Structure 1
Amino acid sequence: MSKVVFYYFDIKGRGEACRLLLAYGGQQFEDRRITAEQWPTFKLKTPFGQLPILEIDGKQYAQSLAISRYLGRKYGLVGDTPEDALEIDQNVDLFIELCLKGGQIMYERDAARKESLYAEAVKNVFPDYLERLNSIINKNNGHLALGKLTWGDFVFAGLFDYFIKVLRMPDLEKKYPAFQKVVDNVYSIPKVKSYSDSTNY
């Protein structure tokens, strides 16, 4: 059996979907959580100077979406055709695009500019993305694509806390119950729930 080690910080962030997928697949893995003190030295050992990293028998693989996509294929969380795969990819990309837009504002250092950008996004950017995501998820019966569980659901669920934070919308799941349904569909899976219940952040 392969030795699997997963490296990320002690937060959910971009690494949580990968952890959830590993749990779903029943994969035994070492969950290495890098501290702020360890990071400058550890960073030099990474392929791209970034986390997360999935290490399989000593070989390292990077990029959270690439890892999630790989695990999705490995555990049968993809469609039957290239077009199915394209649908998952496009919907994941839409979600990540909105996360990045929110993240760019959140990490803006100039306080006045930050508030100006946020006000503009709340008015002219976020609503359209949120409505599109909501429509997609409702159409797919509480999933991000294909009307069934795919690796895209794990990306959405793993990043949902971050999603709420960057949008500054603590009651987002109340306005868009479909979003919470995706999260619940993932975290209610017995192996995923067992992993989640054993983890503290």
Structure 2
Amino acid sequence: MASSYKMTYFDIRGLGEPIRYLLAYGGIEYEDKRIAFEEWPAMKNSTPYGKLPTVEIDGQLFHQSAAIARYIAKQLKLTGDDDVEAMMCDIVVDTFTDLRVQTSSWFREKDEAIKEKKRGPLLNEIVPFYMERFEKELEKNSGNFVKGKLTWADFYVAAVMEVIGDMCKENFLEKYPNLKALNEKISNIPQIKDWIQKRPITPF
């Protein structure tokens, strides 16, 4: 019998979108429960570690978005052909998370003066440092991150790259053709294209 999935997250793409991409790709039906930010304080303590997204699989509750995405990817045979390729996927996702954490920290900064001061270094130093290296990896691996094969690392980067661009109000992809091509490749997979067309419109 097929497993039942229920994902709980804010009404944004954010960290939930890689999971949604993989579920869409696999044709896996799930409940996409979206909560307003105003609802969060009252329900925070009911989550395992006070964070979202969470995913229930057959009634069992899980957290940590990358771990959930990795689990789904394993079910879909998207973690590479051996343990080394699986590790390569993890390296890409973990490295991209290093970038995401820095952009998210800037985005959440409440002091506008500090935020403006940090914007220049973020966009002119930190983002290019990572993007240039991702570009080289894609070039070396025939347009994908792991040995020219479609893996969950490709889905993860494509989904979160879009979010980072929206948060920073910058179209990074125009400066990095290999990343742009990857995003277009993932976005045009029929299942993903269908999801993008019907998903709720959110700021990021």
Structure-1 separation of matches of 2:25 and 2:99: 26
Tell me whether 1:64 sits opposite 2:57 in the alignment: no
Q: Secondary structure at the match of 1:5?
A: strand
Q: Secondary structure at the match of 2:116?
A: helix
Q: 1:119 is matched with which residue?
A: 120
| C-alpha spacing 1:165/1:192, structure 2 compared with 1 (3 Å) | closer
Q: 1:145 is matched with which residue?
A: 146
TM-score, normalising length: structure 2 = 0.90
Tell me whether 1:192 sits opposite 2:192 in the alignment: yes
| C-alpha spacing 1:23/1:123, structure 2 compared with 1 (3 Å) | closer
Structure 1: 4+ residue segments shifted above 6 A: none
Query: Residues 26-82 of structure 1, C-alpha deviation per residue, up to 9 Å, x if partnerless?
Result: 111111111223322332221111111110111111111001111111100011221
Q: 1:180 is matched with which residue?
A: 180
Structure-2 separation of matches of 1:95 and 1:21: 17
Query: Residues 82-108 of structure 1, C-alpha deviation per residue, up to 9 Å, x if partnerless?
Result: 111111111111211112112222222
Q: Secondary structure at the match of 2:78?
A: coil
Uncovered stretches (5+) of structure 1, i.e. residues with no partner: none
Structure-1 separation of matches of 2:79 and 2:73: 6
By how many angstroms is 1:192 displaced?
1.9
Aligned length: 200
Structure-1 separation of matches of 2:119 and 2:169: 9
Tell me whether 1:44 sits opposite 2:71 in the alignment: no
Paired letter, 2:183: V
Q: 2:25 is matched with which residue?
A: 24
| C-alpha spacing 1:124/1:187, structure 2 compared with 1 (3 Å) | closer
TM-score, normalising length: structure 1 = 0.91
Percent identity over paired residues: 37
By how many angstroms is 1:13 displaced?
0.4
Q: 1:87 is matched with which residue?
A: 88
| C-alpha spacing 1:194/1:121, structure 2 compared with 1 (3 Å) | closer
